[in-house]
Amino acid sequence: MVNKKVYELEDIKLKILKAVDTITDPIASTLSPKGSNVLCVDDNGNPFYTNDGVTIAKNISVKDEVENAIIEVIKISSLKTNTEVGDGTSSTILASSVLIKEGLRLIENGHNRMDIRDALIKFAESMEKELTSMAIKVKDDKDVKFIAKISASGDDKIAEDVVRITKVVGLDGQVMIDRGFGTETEIIEETGFILKTGAFSPELTNKQFQTNMENVPVLITDKRLYYKSEAETILKTVMNSGYSEVVIIAQDFVGEALPYFIANHINNKIRVILIAEKKSEILEDLAIYLGGEVISDKKGSLVDNVTIEQFMMAKRVFADQFKAIIGREKKEKNKDLDTRVKSLKAEMVKNGNKNDPEYLKLLNRVSSLTNGMVTIKVGGATHPEILERIYRYEDAVNAVRAAMKEGYLPGAGVAVWSAWTKIKVAPDYERMFKRLAQANIRQIAVNCGEIPEIVLDNISRSTIAYDRAGYNANTGKIEDVVKSGIIEPLLVATHVITNAVSIANIILTSKYFVVPDFEDDKENK
């Protein structure tokens, strides 16, 4: 067992502050189009550069156990913003640093740490309410491009690509981003059937709980696969036909069948994706989509009858914990699919009530049959350049999807500052929350070589509406940020506040810190 050291917060405040600055300073320096890149070296010694907050955060760790513990708390909790809405890690870390520093000052001045916690929670709730009331719905391609461009650090080409991609995949389609083989970026559009159930077993996925295959046979059955003999027959049929991968979609995987599939996958005999879908109409839709039929219990034993001809071919299959997307060859004509879509749409018209549960089910089925899937093969001259562009595409796609769900806000820190002016806080906490509300505006000014106080004063003196007036890093002027296309998704702004408050509360409410004592362990050895 590793020996531990126990520290009281009052004894390690300097270490906490140092840790906060260690993770915040490089990440905050990337904010705005005039922000800088950060050169990192991965665990294998490979250098790369990026302005992506997620990537920078993941690469930061230090030797001191106390400082590293603080960094890990900030890192893990801030990455939650990216996991939930696909963007906002940098702003979350900047906001949390303000709250931690101000919270420590309040504790030093005699404030109760639990009172500070309650004030932080109340502040987050009030800010979320105000920000939500300010949200603007995405109306057209222009809005989409603005949001994508901001998240892609001002890259017009990436923004234009994301507009095109959004039209293909919508909110539910799959976007896969990978390294290309040349200097040019290639965008491959495909159709994709969306299942609301993901990969059945984590043992059959990678560390990100994802898996994908290309040009793979697919078996669809309404059976609950139970016996080893069923699994064995399916896999033998596939392997004897020269395939090394298979996708199986069934009502359930139980009994001896599941461990048999997993064992063959882990031992590299044949790669398997398992997806459980209990709704018979969805199974039928998918079979028609792929140009085949469901193997039904009513037609006899699966083991006795399965042949390779009963498998359907998918061009691409992707699955994670929550969904699966199955793509077919787009060039293939499928009259049965066209007929099914027309039939479902006719039922929707007949129903007429858009709020009726049956109408919504029909709408979901049509969406599954007609959605798209896009693969972005990112090109570049060097590996670091390609990685940096991959991060920009990811941020832009995620930001656009977040905005399409709940709307967008004025960017450049304007929305948070405006919302702050509308809420009431106790005098003791006014400085803390005011500094948080100004944090992004101040940091953008610093990154542009400006004096933050002057920028804030110019904003307050502007004749532009106070909830739209902000600093444009590209022009160096105070402008209506919405008209200038400087906007951010509502979900990003609210998650930044909520998760920053969570980080601050974890650290500020912890009076004692218990961390490994690696030096003591070395001495004992």
d(C-alpha 184, C-alpha 143), whole Å: 26
DSSP for 40-78, please give it.
EE-TTS-EEEE--HHHHHHT---SSHHHHHHHHHHHHHH
* 3-state DSSP assignment of residue 313: strand
Single out the residue of 428, 515, 514 nearest to residue 119, CA to CA: 428
CATH of domain 193-332: 3.50.7.10
Q: What pTM, to 2 d.p., does this model score?
A: 0.68
For the 4-136+409-520 domain, the top CATH level (class) is mainly alpha
Helical H segments across 291-426, by residue range: 302-305, 335-351, 357-370, 383-406, 414-420
- Tens digit of pLDDT at every position of the chain (525 positions): 678 889 998 889 999 999 999 999 999 999 988 999 999 988 888 888 888 888 898 899 999 999 999 999 998 878 877 777 767 889 999 999 999 999 999 999 999 999 999 999 999 999 999 999 999 999 889 999 999 998 887 889 999 999 998 887 777 667 878 888 888 999 987 778 888 888 999 899 987 788 989 999 999 999 999 999 999 999 999 999 999 999 999 999 999 999 999 999 999 899 999 999 998 889 999 999 998 999 987 766 566 678 999 999 999 898 988 888 898 876 567 788 888 888 888 888 888 776 788 887 887 787 777 776 788 999 998 888 888 889 889 888 988 988 888 899 999 999 999 999 999 999 999 999 999 999 999 999 999 999 999 999 999 999 999 899 999 999 999 999 999 989 899 999 999 999 999 999 999 999 999 988 866 555 554
The whole-number pLDDT of residue 458 equals 96
Q: Would you list the domain boundaries of the chain?
A: 4-136+409-520, 141-192+375-406, 193-332
Strand 372-378 and strand 186-191: the pairing is antiparallel
For residue 156 the two structure tokens come to 């017009």
Single out the residue of 451, 455, 448 nearest to residue 474, CA to CA: 448
d(C-alpha 254, C-alpha 262), whole Å: 12
CATH superfamily of 141-192+375-406: TCP-1-like chaperonin intermediate domain (3.30.260.10)
